[in-house]
Chain A
Amino acid sequence: MDAIPFKVQIFSILGVLAFMYIVARLIVRGKLREEYSIIWILGTVLLAVFSVWRQGLQRIAALLDVYYAPSLLFLIALFAIICFLLHLSIVVSKFQSQIKDLTYELALLKQEKLVDDKKTKTA
Chain B
Amino acid sequence: MSTTPRILVVIPCYNEEKTIASVVAQIAECRRLHQLNLDILVVNDCSRDNTMRVVRQLDCLCLDLPVNLGIGGAMHSGYRYAYRYNYDIAIQVDGDGQHPANEIPSLLTPLFSDKADVVIGSRFLNRIGFQSTFTRRLGIRFFTGLNWLLIGQTIRDSTSGFRAMNRRTLAIVDGYYPDEYPEPEAIVQFGLHKLRIREVPVEMLERQGGVSSITSFKSIYYMAKVTLGSLFLFARLKNTLR
Contacts of A108 in B (CB 8 A): 63, 77, 80-81, 84
A96 to B, closest residue via Cβ: B179
A104–B76 touching, CB < 8 Å? yes
The docked-state distance in angstroms from the alpha carbon of A108 to that of B66 is 11
Nearest-Cβ distance from residue A78 to partner chain B, whole angstroms: 26
Q: Could you list which residues of chain A lie within 8 angstroms of chain B, going by C-beta atoms?
A: 99-100, 103-104, 106-108, 110-111, 114-115
A111–B63 touching, CB < 8 Å? yes
The docked-state distance in angstroms from the alpha carbon of A99 to that of B76 is 13
Contacts of B77 in A (CB 8 A): 103-104, 107-108
Contacts between the two chains (Cβ within 8 Å), count? 34
B66–A111 touching, CB < 8 Å? no
A107–B65 touching, CB < 8 Å? yes
Question: B33 at the A/B interface (Cβ < 8 Å)?
Answer: no
The docked-state distance in angstroms from the alpha carbon of A103 to that of B73 is 9
Nearest-Cβ distance from residue B104 to partner chain A, whole angstroms: 22
Nearest-Cβ distance from residue A110 to partner chain B, whole angstroms: 6
Contacts of B80 in A (CB 8 A): 104, 108
Q: Told that A107-B43, A107-B65, A111-B61 touch, could you supply 18 new A-B pairs with CB distance under 8 A? A: A99-B67, A100-B69, A100-B73, A100-B76, A103-B69, A103-B73, A103-B77, A104-B77, A104-B80, A107-B63, A107-B64, A107-B66, A107-B77, A108-B77, A108-B80, A108-B84, A111-B62, A111-B64
